[in-house]
Amino acid sequence: MPHDQISFVRKHMLPEAPPPATETGAVKWLRENLFSSPANTLLTLVSIFVVFNIASASAPWFLNGVWDSPSIAACREILDGRVGGCFAVLSERWNQLLFGFKYPVELYWRPGLAFVLLFVAGAPVLFGKIFPRKMLFFTGLYPFIAYWLIWGGSIMVPIFALLGVVVGAVVYSRVVTISAGVAVIAGFVAALIFWIASGYISRPMADVMALQAVPSRDMGGFMINLMLGVVCVSLSLPLGILLALGRQSRMPIIKWICVVFIEFIRGVPLITLLFVANVVLAYFLPPNVTFDLILRVIIMITMFSSAYIAEVIRGGLAALPRGQYEAANSLGLDYAQSMQLIILPQALKISIPGIVNVAVGLFKDTTLVSVISMFDIVGMIRGPILASMEWKGVYWELFGFACILFFITCYGISQYSQWLERQLRTDHR
């Protein structure tokens, strides 16, 4: 018998065996992610138990929800003893939650339009690569349009305000060749003179293209939160940059003014600043001059957030390598040019996450104005709605609605900032 007939070596490949059942697909995923060890199994079981309890308790509340009823009593009648949410309060008081209870109903389109235009104005700033740069022109006009839409009155007021800004900008561009610092001061003074002069012209023209005026105290609801948030964040960004530069400055007097301002504002809670706006600020204004409560609140919140933004930007400035400052100097750029062209673009890029954190925090803090009896969304819920006969005791639906509004806005902003960070990443990876 020849040797080669007895073969101990396999002549052909076996087909690949399938992996063990515990190492593929869902089973593997479950084993690795949920049941990898006894402790993990316990954690998983506890979590499932908690989720199941929450879901089974809240599901009927959502599913049996009543969306159409005039009052909570009627709502309970419809539910007839079943567990269920009374979401009718949202559909019935929808306008109040968004616009407050005094804003004229027939004028709701105005803040609504201003809200829509906000996206048009914000788009070229937020998504610079997608939208044409020409749209920035509209962004510049937007504050004046929004003011006119929301407060109403003669169109002359926003037009003269805009012209004042133009005059200031022209003067600035003429003087900037001498010195940027002098130019800023000159432009500001020119604009101020123009505004004061235009006050005399615009007074007799109060009826030119006038929309029905709405006083600030008639505004309320989520509109106030949005207004305060947008206005204060956009005002406090330039202020914060100035404060941060001032704190880094080599001029001791300017440095100490900025340090004292920043540390003072950061050391006190926002509520005390709102108290100042509410009861103290009036003492420091000339007699017979009264500011709107909203304007006073805007001033205080802007001061508050500019101090926080200044600290964030200072962190960005400090994080830049010294070489960047020295390179800018060695190119022969003066202070304003080196800041504008070299330092700030990089420092602001590093500061984006921090600035967004401040912006989100500030937007959440706008609810504090309800403490000084302004009717923002929390003030509306606690005041006119929960105190009314029809909706006494509808806590969960209302607070849940406010939570969802804030969650959507704030979560959206933070997702945007993460996207922007990825866009601005210029290092090679």
Of 356, 318, 387, nearest to 89 by C-alpha is 387
| 403 is a site residue for another protein (CB under 8 A) | yes
Residue 10 beta carbon to another protein: minimum distance, rounded to whole angstroms: 40
Residue 254 beta carbon to another protein: minimum distance, rounded to whole angstroms: 5
Nearer to another protein, 124 or 379 (CB): 379
| 27 is a site residue for another protein (CB under 8 A) | no
Nearer to another protein, 340 or 415 (CB): 415
Using CB under 8 A, which residues numbered 174 to 233 contact another protein? 178-179, 181-182, 185
Residue 118 beta carbon to another protein: minimum distance, rounded to whole angstroms: 20
Per-residue x/- marks for another protein, 49-88, CB under 8 A?
-xx-------------------------------------
> With CB under 8 A, what is the number of residues at the site for another protein?
61
Question: Which residues lie across from 135 on neighbouring strands?
Answer: none
Interface with another protein (CB under 8 A), residue from 371, 383, 384, 421: 371
Nearer to another protein, 6 or 251 (CB): 251
Interface with another protein (CB under 8 A), residue from 114, 307, 368, 385: 368
Using CB under 8 A, which residues numbered 237 to 296 contact another protein? 250-254, 257, 263-264, 266-272, 275-276, 279-280, 282-287
Nearer to another protein, 64 or 414 (CB): 414
Per-residue x/- marks for another protein, 329-358, CB under 8 A?
-----x------------------------
Residue 51 beta carbon to another protein: minimum distance, rounded to whole angstroms: 7
Among the residue ranges 78-86, 134-142, 209-217, 408-416, the one whose residues contact another protein (CB under 8 A): 408-416
Of 117, 118, 130, nearest to 420 by C-alpha is 130
Residue 145 beta carbon to another protein: minimum distance, rounded to whole angstroms: 29
| 28 is a site residue for another protein (CB under 8 A) | no
How far is it, in rounded angstroms, from Cα 117 to Cα 132?
16
| Binding interface with another protein (CB under 8 A) | 32-34, 36, 40, 43-44, 47-48, 50-51, 178-179, 181-182, 185, 250-254, 257, 263-264, 266-272, 275-276, 279-280, 282-287, 334, 360, 364-365, 367-368, 370-371, 378, 382, 393, 395, 399, 402-403, 406-407, 410-411, 414
